[in-house]
Amino acid sequence: MLEIRIVFTLQIKSNGVCWQIFSNGKYKSVKHRAVVNNQATRISVVKANGPAPDAIVCPASPLVQRDGRPLYRPFKYIEYVETQLSNTVEGKVNLDYAKIQDN
């Protein structure tokens, strides 16, 4: 008889960068983290997801009106992906790419 043991420790990471921009900074993107130990095997599965490459990502208009100004500039999602893949980000998301700098 085959015995199958399953460890139910599922972590799901959404595309937090888009949510942070869409929410005009209200919802923060989280850093991915994993806890490993010598008692159980850990398997990671990556699934790329996000808007269509040519979709414009920007803060929602009602949130910009509420906050008084956008915190992030509009951009095509593919621009963000290309910037993310071409830079060493050291465990952080590259939100500086879209952030509007205060003068």
Per residue in 10-69, pLDDT (tens digit) is: 444 456 778 888 899 888 876 666 677 777 777 777 667 778 999 999 999 999 999 999
User: Please, which contacts does 89-95 make with residues 24 or more away whose CB atoms are closer than 8 Å?
Assistant: 91/31, 91/32, 92/31, 93/16, 93/17, 93/29, 93/31, 94/17, 95/17, 95/20, 95/21, 95/29
DSSP string over 29-73: PPPP-----SSS----------S-TT-EE---HHHHHHHSS-SB-
User: Which residue type does 54 have?
Assistant: D
Report the predicted TM-score, pTM, of the whole model to 2 decimal places: 0.66
95 pLDDT tier (thresholds 50, 70, 90): confident
